[in-house]
Amino acid sequence: QLQLVESGGGLVQPGGSLRLSCAPSGFTLHYYGIGWFRQAPGKEREGVSCISSSGRNINYAHSVKGRFTISRDNAKNTVWLQMNSLKPEDTAVYYCAATWVEVTTTSCPTEADFTSWGQGTQVTVSS
User: 72 pairs with which residues across the strands?
Assistant: 79
Q: What does the pLDDT average to over 28-57?
A: 96
- Condensed to tens digits (0 to 9), the pLDDT of residues 73-124 reads 999 999 999 999 999 999 999 999 999 999 999 999 999 999 999 999 999 9
Evaluate the CA torsion angle 26, 28, 31, 34 in order and state its sign.
Answer: positive
DSSP code for 118: B
